[in-house]
Amino acid sequence: AHRQGASSTRAGLGRHAALASALAGGRAASGDAFNCTQFPGLCRAPFNCHTRNPLGGLQWAIKGWAPKGRGNPESWCVLTNHYEYVNECLGNHDLVKAASIMFRKAEGGEIQKFTHELDASYCFLEGFCSDTEITSASTLDDADKACDKRFGNARWRQFGSFGQPEYDKIGKKIAEDGKNGFLNRNQSTPYVISACAMGNY
């Protein structure tokens, strides 16, 4: 629930370049101790990365990234390159500031070259630019309810699992280079599903 208006909804997609890498094993957490000095905000609720069970990744692979049936902030423990954004979004519950951070990084090309195009098309294709249900005051519970309404309760909770359908997997139908953004919802919807599972819908 990190959105307020069109500019902030556009901001949400940039984290997915790193997400695709994490799902492929590029940034997956190992059994090493989590660096609370570098990422202090992730060593408190709702993340608690310092107490994360290294075998949690196995549970995610079997049940999905939301095994407890709600958006899972702990999933951000494997995506520390978005620390500044997610610490504001879920840690400090400042959804406007979080959206501004992601928008700035996307617009400046800090994430990947065409993130701003992907974010803008995501916003329009998925109906977020005109969404009034999720606001700057929305909670994680509100986001879970919106995700259930949109996808049913099983589809988004199994994100990242072995059993997730191919058509819902990140990067299976991605735009070739991103310069024209997403071309259809087959490309963008897996990212909405991931946002539900990770708690930042």
Retrieve residue 82's tokens: 């978005």
For residues 45 and 91, give the distance between their C-alpha atoms in angstroms, rounded to a whole number.
7
Task: Pick the closest to residue 49 from 28, 64, 24, 63 (CA basis).
Answer: 28
Give yes or no for a contact between 61 and 152, defined as CB atoms under 8 angstroms apart: no
For residues 49 and 36, give the distance between their C-alpha atoms in angstroms, rounded to a whole number.
8
The structure's pTM equals 0.83
For residues 122 and 118, give the distance between their C-alpha atoms in angstroms, rounded to a whole number.
6
What ranges make up the beta strands (E) of the chain? none
Task: Pick the closest to residue 200 from 55, 120, 60, 101 (CA basis).
Answer: 101
* pLDDT tens, per residue, the chain with 201 residues: 544 433 333 344 444 444 544 544 434 444 468 999 999 999 999 999 999 987 888 999 999 999 999 999 999 999 999 999 999 999 999 999 999 999 999 888 888 888 889 999 999 999 998 999 999 999 999 999 999 999 998 999 999 999 999 999 987 666 567 788 999 999 999 999 999 999 999
